[in-house]
Structure 1
């Protein structure tokens, strides 16, 4: 179980001391939608660690579709008084009727095979599920909601900027299967604005760059996740393109830090880019960094049609992080260090 992994716990402990004043969450309650996902599970681990070591006394309400899967992931907290799991699909409503102070919405399909195999649920979770969570928040007097959006909302870089600022609008072809994810994230953001206006809800948005870390799921089909799996197995890294695409990335532990920071310091209605300050790179360099770390090489292979249909067509998607930096947050973990820590931790969990 990853919560028994000393290096993972050390990563969370270091982050909690470095990035966040936790007073806002003392004796409060936080609902996490998408609890067993890469970011959702890491959010929960961070709070439960601070409950144990810093007397935070923060209650977690974890939302998820599979209680058996959740118990396997959160077994060390399952009987803790500060942990509650509510089983259900947020597309059908929120299966919890108690009060919570904050909602962190991390529920979404987030990788290419999921987009291509489950395009309907990809869209409905980001739209209907988001509406259900916002409605719950408005009806139950939730203090603030944080909606986890994505770099994908910017669409394709039109070639007129180096990095995306929060007011940038790129091209999206909505008449494609792949468009379901970015278009529904855009709609989710629009719903947040609607609830702010019509219901007076306090909502803030975090637009995450491509994320990786020790809590990534085995089913994750993102290119970087495949690279990491190959690295752990000490196999050649398979690159399914020339690798010239330029992307921003963020270590999941840093992403969690940014989410809590934005929840406390972000302005209602505003969106904030979240990326590592030292994690902009090309796909080829990313593959070579992992291969170099484990002593293998990079090889090239074309994807099959189903996998390719879920791939982003963006060739340059770098995030400008000035806005969140001006609030006082910078994720400065070195890319190579984060990748090596991820592989060490995941290898132990095999």
Structure 2
């Protein structure tokens, strides 16, 4: 029973509910991916994996025929964590690292760049490497997209680019001029994302 006295039993939200909500909200956009080839960096990370879940679900329900190539440092580890995605007939994992990404001679319609080493340990102990990985990785992804003849390049950034959110601010507007303290080496990740 809730505070209003409602005795309706609500089932917990599920992955299926999330995927249905994504499918519904993107209804006008899904047809644009029909028959397209995508290359995704960072597809095995938290956000990237959710994108793959949504793409796999939309492909299954709508018959998009989308082809997705996913760059990952460890295809076997990804296959162990998400075997249903690794086995998806339209998905292919290729081993590689964003800082050494080079054109593969293939044509891709869209490149989605979500790769970054968001390791707090790397940010703490080697902030320069963190910064360089973010910036050089983005440069490599852009060069890759150009060589692949991509129509679109989609870059996933981070809320870290805005710095610490003031307590009184409930939402950070895109045009907000705040940012991380560039004098603090612990902000190498955020500054790298801003530079990229």
TM-score normalised by the chain length of structure 2: 0.81
2:22 is the alignment partner of 1:12:
no
Unaligned runs of 5+ in 2: 1-12
Residue 65 of structure 1 deviates from its aligned partner by: 0.7
RMSD over aligned Cα, in angstroms?
2.6
**Greater share of strand residues, 1 or 2?**
1
Residue 121 of structure 1 deviates from its aligned partner by: 4.3
Instruction: Give the aligned partner of residue 166 of structure 1.
Output: 174
Aligned-partner SS, 1:76: helix
Match of 1:72 among 68, 72, 80: 80
Residue 160 of structure 1 deviates from its aligned partner by: 10
Instruction: Give the aligned partner of residue 35 of structure 1.
Output: 43
Q: 1:73 to 1:121 in 2, by over 3 A?
A: farther
1:55-83 CA-to-partner distances (Å, cap 9, x unmatched) read 01111111111122122133224344311
Please tell me whether the aligned partners of residues 53 and 85 of structure 2 are also in contact (alpha carbons under 8 angstroms).
no
Q: 1:59 to 1:118 in 2, by over 3 A?
A: farther
Match of 1:187 among 174, 188, 195: 195
Match of 2:159 among 138, 151, 166: 151
Unaligned runs of 5+ in 1: 1-5, 189-350
Instruction: Give the aligned partner of residue 9 of structure 2.
Output: none
Please tell me whether the aligned partners of residues 29 and 60 of structure 1 are also in contact (alpha carbons under 8 angstroms).
yes
Residue 28 of structure 1 deviates from its aligned partner by: 0.6
TM-score normalised by the chain length of structure 1: 0.47
Q: 1:80 to 1:15 in 2, by over 3 A?
A: closer
